[in-house]
Structure 1
Amino acid sequence: MSDTLQPTADGEHDPAFDQANRLLEQQQFAAVVQLVQKLGPAARPPTLNAAGLAATVLQARPLAESFYRRALAAGPAYAPTYGNLGVFLHVERRHAEAEQVLRAGLAAAPDDAAIAMSLANLLSLRHRHREAEAAFRELVRRHPDHAEARFRLGGLLLTMGRYEEGWALYEARYDPTRKGAPDPIDFGCPQWLGEPLEGRTLLVWYEQGHGDEIQFCRYVPMLKAMGAAKVTVVCKPALQPLLATLEGIDRLVPAAGVHEIETHDYWTYLLSLPHRFATRLETIPARVPYLSALPERRACWAPRVPKDGFHVGLAWKGNPELANDANRSLPSLATLRPLWDVPGVTFVSLQKGVGEAEAASPAADQPILNLGGMFEDFGDSAALIEALDLVISVDTAPAHLAGALGKPCFCLVPAEGLDFRWLLERSDSPWYPTLTLFRRPLGAAWDVVMPRVAEALGKAVRRSARAPAS
């Protein structure tokens, strides 16, 4: 949806619009709808557009579309309606109609950044990457200070493997003008922009999800190799026992203890390190393993895995709070049912929290050892994964953990909302040599992927049976 409501294009004052806008701000969505229904044919385009927003929130989707259509018919020059209707149709998966509406909106208002952003995002999500790139570039050309557009263009270029420009644009994620960007943190020292580190101290600040920290912590040893006298890494608490095994960290601090950190010469975001090291596809630091389980954790978890057979850890759900989780997470454990047709496999649940209830009460034809619910942190996860033969995971932290541990992993990757780190089309990952990617086609269900996963699992089991005992 558009970020703001705009008054009538002709500038004429509309008291009904003022009232609708106030009601929206007060989240009185039903009252907005009632107001417009009372106005009937007298409702003007901005007020109808406001009613469309309100009806969308109320999940009255046919009514919302009717308000938007009426607004366009009555005021084809009123740009915000194009943006809101375009996004509405995109969410409804009526992609061709959404594109048509958004292009009409840009024809009516070429400088409308919200409409341009919606169109570029639509093209990107439909895997029309070259067209999306052109749309983002035009948006940035017209609005050079549009941080969200630069960030989105950066992510698109990274997905396309064009790292040189992609990493630089990706830095816009923390631009203070970008909507939703966190407040800047005063570290009492300048941000590291690639200056010499010989004899200097550096603070590395965590960001984004657990998987991101696991993936990009590989750069920390490279900081020490530049001669840094001290590297302090701040991490999410659940990762502390895992990152304690990473080379190059002089001090590891959980986020809750940041008030105890002394001033350093420089600070950096973790995900800025690929940019600072000018990472290209051919220079990704991909030596694995770069993380491991603590010995005492191994001693605790290894005995819980049966000695005989082929052992596969499963993670079929990610964090439901993430925007793209509906696309990356499987509907249920039942989606993986074809894997149980492969003989000789013991399945182990890696789910903690979401998905844990399914693992505790699986279907009779999907027996699974429910160990993930016993995890206290990622130190436990690492110890269990080290005791397994293979991990099969959706695009979430266990896939990154398996890759960082050098453990074979089948990673299930959605087409919708594809994360830039998995690039395009390829079935391998330059970030994790032991990962095999299984991509769900655009618009398809996960069911179409499972026969290929089951076939690959069968081959892995057979290879293991032929391998000589170590």
Structure 2
Amino acid sequence: MQPAASQRFFDGTRHLAAHDAAGAEACFREAIAIEPELGEAHANLGWLAEAAGRLDEADACYRRALALRPQQPTIHLNHAALLARLKRFDEALAACWTAVQLDPEAPAAWSNLGVLLAQMGRHGDAEACCRRSLSLDPQYPKAHINLAYLCLRDGRWDEGWSHYAWRGWQLDLAGRVTCPRWQGEPLDGRRVLVGLEGGYGDMIQFSRFATVLKQAGAQWVTLLCPPPLLALLATLDGVDEVLPADGLLPPAHWDCWTSATSVPRHLGTRPDAIPVAQPYLRAEPAAAARWQRALPANGLRVGLVWKGNPAFENDDERSLPSIDLLVPLAALPGVHFVSLQKGAGEDEALRAPVALHLGGEIDSFADTAAIVQALDLVICVDTAVAHLAGALGKPCWVLLPQQMTDWRWLTGRSDSPWYPGVLRLFRQAQRGDWSPVVAELAAALRGLSSADHAVPADHHHTDP
């Protein structure tokens, strides 16, 4: 490598470490201008282009890098991840397998292969790869986390929780308070801080465990949460205090801390032993009554959410491409659809089958809870609204993708042990094909009585 190119490449990696993407890209381009066959710089430009969403450019950069450095397994792995993102799974598998063959003793290569195979629905092979990765490095966190999702999705929660404990993002509170982390010891008379973890849906789902800690003998339970959830989670029984997660914390205020999704491991939570006391969250009665008056007086009032947060890694699979897929529901007599869509997709909310759009009037989850409480049924994709409806005890039908279905919905079930008798799951049979799911929804809605608004609970344990 020429000294000038080497220096610009080094500068680029320094900018990368400082999260300065523009500076890094400029340096790598200068390095290539000096030495066009600098494969590592092409590879890094591919990584930067992918991070910026310029996927075709990233593909071209990776291919150029591989032409120059065909023996570099890391470039093959990064290219495989891009190809998987582009849904070119056969090409991704070939690239990933090449990386494994180039360095069969690399835990990262086997772990990445496991992730790819899970995306392809080959869960048994994916698990074998994760275990191979851990046999090479028992301390490799990503393999533990990937294996955790496979075990949890399969209902093997004893092992799943133990692998899930390797996630690093749960340690946020370690530097903010002086008390030790709770390891499952008795809580009698102790003050416990339950930390934020995951997204809104995770916090709604796992907030129930703050109540369980109080029932287990904790003297005082504080729950941290995102500000939009403050008013809603303040309705939890047994929770003494709800604080914004981004606020200042008195370091010596508690005896121990834990993260929201660490509690089920210490309690030995399994699919047949989930703490449930529905509803465990409540809407503000006056607000619910106000929305009740704003909704259609007759017929079945059904809330709709058809898109999730586009930043979520699997959003292109879990979200509907367009509300137009739900147009067949507009022909159902006696059913009034109310849009709860907020953010992405909200511009579609005035199209069929929506009769009333309320998403623009929602400022917090307490607002959403009040509207949901006033409805008869909620139909949504896999978003926080599903957990909100479940926590409120409101019947909710959830549309699930065939590709990378979230672990919490388990496999092969049309009900959820997290929200028994309340949630019903409608699963894709083929990746990306929502039409049969919408047809199934329409048939189920036709079976409801608009006269008495009865929404029967779903008790099936396997897909029909």
Partner of 2:97: 103
Write the distance in 2 (CA, Å) between the matches of 1:298 and 1:281: 32
Partner SS state of residue 391, structure 1: strand
Judge which range, 64-73 or 273-282, deviates more.
64-73
CA distance in 2, matches of 1:292, 1:60: 44
Name the counterpart of 1:9: none
Name the SS for the 2:317 alignment partner: helix
Q: Does 1:414 align with 2:401?
A: yes
The answer on 1:384 being equivalent to 2:378 is no
1:130-149 matches, within 5 Å, as 130-149=124-143
Pairwise CA distance, 1:72 = 4.1
CA distance in 2, matches of 1:100, 1:36: 28
Please identify, of 455-464 and 242-251, the stretch whose mean Cα deviation from structure 2 is larger. Answer: 455-464
Once the two structures are superposed, residues 92-133 of structure 1 have per-residue CA deviations (whole angstroms, 9 ceiling, x without a partner) of 322112112211211111133443332111011112111111
The answer on whether the counterparts of 1:23 and 1:29 sit within 8 Å (CA) in structure 2 is: yes
What is the identity percentage for the equivalent residue pairs of Structure 1 and Structure 2?
40
Residues of 1 paired with 2:336 and 2:57: CA distance? Answer: 51
| 2:462 corresponds to | none
Change (3 A) 1:18 1:442: farther
- Alignment match, 1:290: 280
Change (3 A) 1:114 1:36: farther
1:226 to 216, 221, 226: 216
Counterpart of 1:344 in structure 2 is 334
Q: Against the structure 1 CA distance between its residues 283 and 103, is the aligned structure 2 distance closer, same or farther, given a 3 Å change threshold?
A: same
Cα distance change of structure 1 residues 88 and 223 upon mapping to structure 2, 3 Å threshold: closer
Which aligned pairs between 1:144-183 and structure 2 lie closer than 5 A?
144-174=138-168, 182=172
d(CA) in 1 for partners of 2:80, 2:337: 44
Query: How far off its partner does 1:70 sit?
Result: 5.3
Q: 1:328 aligns with which of 318, 322, 332?
A: 318
Give the conservation status (yes or no) of the 8 Å contact 1:316–1:333. yes
Give the secondary structure class of the aligned counterpart of 1:253.
strand
- Structure 1 residue 165 displacement after superposition: 0.8
Are residues 1:373 and 2:360 paired?
yes
**For residues 121 and 14 of structure 1, do their structure 2 counterparts lie closer, same or farther at Cα, with a shift above 3 Å needed?**
farther
Partners in 2 of 1:184 and 1:281 — Cα distance? 30
Aligned length: 448
Q: Per-residue deviation at 1:421?
A: 0.6
Instruction: Show CA shifts across 1:407-440 (max 9, x none).
Output: 1111011233321111112111111121111122
1:233-382 map, 5 Å: 233-255=223-245, 257-259=247-249, 263-359=253-349, 362-363=350-351, 365-382=352-369
CA distance in 2, matches of 1:90, 1:127: 13
Alignment of 1:176-215 (within 5 A): 182=172, 184-215=174-205
Aligned to 2:439: 451
> Could you state the TM-score of these two structures normalised by the residue count of structure 1?
0.86
Q: CA deviation at 1:400?
A: 0.6
Q: Which stretches in structure 2 are left out of the alignment for 5+ residues?
A: 16-20, 457-464
Q: Equivalent residue for 1:395?
A: 382
Residue 85 (1) aligns with residue 72 (2): no
Q: Is the 8 A contact 2:107 2:133 kept in 1?
A: yes
**In structure 1, C-alpha distance between the alignment counterparts of 2:206 and 2:216, rounded to whole Å:** 17
Match of 1:94 among 88, 91, 99: 88
For residues 430 and 13 of structure 1, what CA distance do their matches in structure 2 show?
62
CA apart distance, 1:207: 1.7
Farther-moved stretch of structure 1 (189-198 vs 146-155): 146-155
Q: Offset at 1:147?
A: 1.6
Q: Deviations over 1:360-407 (max 9, x none)?
A: xx23x4342122321232222222211111100111111111111111
> Quick check: 1:127 aligned with 2:115?
no
Give a deviation string over 1:280-310, Cα, whole Å, max 9, x none: 1110123321122122322332211222111
- Quote the residue 1:440 is aligned against: 428
For structure 1, which segment, 121-130 or 229-238, has the greater mean C-alpha deviation from structure 2 after superposition? Answer: 229-238
